[in-house]
C-alpha cells in the first residue's frame, strides 16, 4: 500500500511539474493576446473616428450647390 501511494504521489507531482511550464506559457500568451486585442480595437476605433470626423468636416464646408 505504501509503495502504491508513494508511486501515485510521485507521478502526480511529476505530471504537475511537467505541465506547469505549459500552463505558465499559455497564461502569458493569453494576457499578451488580450493586450494586443485591446490595442488593435483602440486603433481601429481611432481610425474610424478620424474618417468619420473628416466626413463630418467635409459635409460642413460650403459648396457651390448651397450658394
Q: Note the pLDDT tens digit of each residue in 27-52.
A: 999 999 999 999 999 999 999 998 88
> Total domain count for the chain?
1
In a domain, 33, yes or no: no
Q: Does 56 have pLDDT greater than 60?
A: yes
In a domain, 42, yes or no: no
What local confidence, expressed as pLDDT, does residue 67 receive? 47
In a domain, 57, yes or no: no
Measure the CA–CA gap between 36 and 49, rounded to whole angstroms: 20
Task: Calculate mean pLDDT across residues 13-31.
Answer: 82
For the chain, give the mean pLDDT.
79
Taking Cα atoms as reference points, which of 16, 38, 20 lies closest to residue 28? 20
pTM above 0.75, yes or no: no
What local confidence, expressed as pLDDT, does residue 58 receive? 63
In a domain, 9, yes or no: yes
Show the domain range for 19: 1-26
Amino acid at each position: 500500500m505504501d509503495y502504491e501511494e508513494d508511486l501515485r504521489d510521485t507521478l502526480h507531482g511529476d505530471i504537475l511539474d511537467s505541465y506547469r511550464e505549459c500552463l505558465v506559457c499559455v497564461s502569458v500568451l493569453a494576457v499578451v493576446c488580450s493586450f494586443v486585442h485591446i490595442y488593435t480595437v483602440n486603433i481601429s476605433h481611432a481610425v474610424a473616428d478620424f474618417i468619420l470626423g473628416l466626413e463630418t468636416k467635409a459635409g460642413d464646408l460650403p459648396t457651390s450647390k448651397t450658394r
